[in-house]
């Protein structure tokens, strides 16, 4: 079972890295991930139907850890797809309210499952046979798990609840980022209103602009080094009419490059030297 499920998890993680770089998830990307994960999840279901677990410990581990991990990705992308599909066309306050309602729903879920949250987060095991073994459900413990309509060979009492918890952990980060994006756009638009109109637009890549911004920040060449990275990035966005998105996450990606972490800056040096050499001739 572990070898089979590890292959599925590896495929999903690889596709996430390719399709959702820097956690940049649009409704189209979310739909793509749903369509990618769903068949793999069904493969896992079919395999589980035919598989005989070696012992209770292996079965508990599967329904406590493996299945919820995979299912949580499906729930996560489905929630994003639905959320973005239903996002209202309105001012920024309306959009923020839309995301905050989902945050409130997550809080309600956590409050309604507080005992189970504490059990799972504390890594307790004394109720595992009731929560994560098929056919051992205790209806007093699992009265709200929807047991009656589950696939009995592919479901335990609480594996779906764990999956939803994991999905909501990821979704909370997504929602915070979306709210930050809305607020950041407000700041950029306000800053842009105070800048003189100019014909300049950034026509290189977003990553290049972020690399430049962090270089300016690291060099401390603005306001005697007192300008913070947020101020610098806001100015770049406002001045050159570009949306840099989650620039910190992009910076982390740049930092992890195995080769040439300063690609854009190196190209600037190379082109300036070439220009100087041409002028000398």
Question: pLDDT digits over 183-222, tens only?
Answer: 777 666 776 666 677 778 899 999 999 999 999 999 999 9
Spatial CB neighbours of 239, under 8 Å, sequence gap ≥ 6: 192, 195, 198, 200
Asked if residue 192 is part of any domain, the answer here is: no
pLDDT of amino acid 100: 92
Are residues 207 and 166 both part of a single domain? no
Of 164, 186, 208, the one marking the end of a domain is 186
Are residues 101 and 32 both part of a single domain? yes
Q: Estimate to the nearest angstrom the gap between the alpha carbon of 81 and the chain centroid.
A: 13
Q: Are 95 and 87 in contact (CB under 8 A)?
A: yes
Sign of the alpha-carbon torsion through 16, 19, 22, 26: negative
Are residues 35 and 140 both part of a single domain? yes
pLDDT of amino acid 17: 82
Are residues 177 and 229 both part of a single domain? no
Q: Are 262 and 211 in contact (CB under 8 A)?
A: yes
- CB crowding 105-133: b at 16 or more within 10 Å, else e: ebeeeeeebeebeebbeeeeeeebebbbb
Number of independent structural domains in the chain? 2
Residue whose tokens read 């299945």:
67
Are residues 180 and 201 both part of a single domain? no
Q: Tell me, what DSSP letter sits at residue 223? A: G
Are residues 25 and 145 both part of a single domain? yes
Task: Give the predicted TM-score (pTM) of the model.
Answer: 0.70
- C-alpha atoms less than 13 angstroms from C-alpha of 265 in its C-beta half-sphere: 13
- C-alpha atoms less than 13 angstroms from C-alpha of 64 in its C-beta half-sphere: 21
| Of residues 197, 174, 157, 153, the one with CA closest to residue 45 | 153
pLDDT of amino acid 147: 52
Distances from the Cα of 72 to the Cαs of 167, 169, 195, 270, in angstroms?
Answer: 5, 10, 45, 47
Are residues 17 and 107 both part of a single domain? yes
Are residues 264 and 138 both part of a single domain? no
pLDDT of amino acid 2: 82
As a whole number of angstroms, the distance between CA 204 and CA 197 comes to 20
pLDDT of amino acid 149: 57
Q: Estimate to the nearest angstrom the gap between the alpha carbon of 199 and the chain centroid.
A: 35
Residue ranges of the chain whose pLDDT lies below 70 = 21-24, 137-149, 186-188, 191-195, 279-281
Instruction: Tell me how many degrees the CA angle 100-104-105 measures, rounded to the nearest 5.
Output: 120
pLDDT of amino acid 25: 74
Are residues 13 and 142 both part of a single domain? yes
Domain that holds residue 43: 2-186
Residue 266 phi, psi (nearest 5): -65, -40
Asked if residue 191 is part of any domain, the answer here is: no
């Amino acid at each position: 079972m572990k070898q089979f499920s590890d292959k599925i998890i590896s495929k999903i993680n690889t596709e996430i890295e390719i399709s959702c770089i820097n956690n940049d998830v649009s409704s189209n990307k979310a739909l793509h991930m749903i369509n990618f994960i769903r068949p793999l999840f069904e493969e896992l279901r079919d395999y589980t139907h035919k598989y005989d677990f070696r012992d209770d410990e292996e079965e508990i581990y599967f329904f406590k850890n493996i299945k919820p991990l995979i299912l949580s990705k499906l729930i996560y992308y489905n929630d994003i797809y639905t959320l973005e599909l239903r996002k209202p066309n309105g001012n920024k306050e309306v959009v923020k309210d839309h995301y905050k309602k989902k945050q409130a729903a997550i809080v309600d879920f956590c409050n309604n499952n507080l005992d189970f949250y504490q059990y799972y987060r504390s890594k307790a095991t004394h109720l595992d046979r009731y929560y994560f073994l098929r056919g051992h459900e205790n209806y007093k413990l699992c009265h709200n798990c929807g047991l009656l309509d589950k696939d009995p060979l592919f479901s335990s009492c609480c594996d779906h609840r764990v999956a939803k918890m994991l999905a909501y952990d990821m979704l909370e980060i997504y929602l915070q980022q979306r709210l930050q994006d809305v607020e950041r756009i407000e700041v950029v638009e306000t800053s842009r209103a105070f800048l003189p109109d100019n014909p300049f637009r950034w026509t290189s890549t977003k990553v290049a602009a972020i690399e430049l911004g962090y270089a300016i920040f690291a060099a401390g060449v603005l306001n005697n080094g007192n300008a913070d990275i947020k101020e610098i990035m806001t100015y770049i966005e406002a001045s050159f009419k570009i949306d840099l998105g989650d620039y910190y996450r992009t910076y982390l990606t740049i930092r992890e490059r195995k080769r040439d972490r300063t690609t854009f800056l190196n190209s600037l040096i190379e082109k300036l030297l070439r220009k100087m050499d041409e002028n000398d001739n």
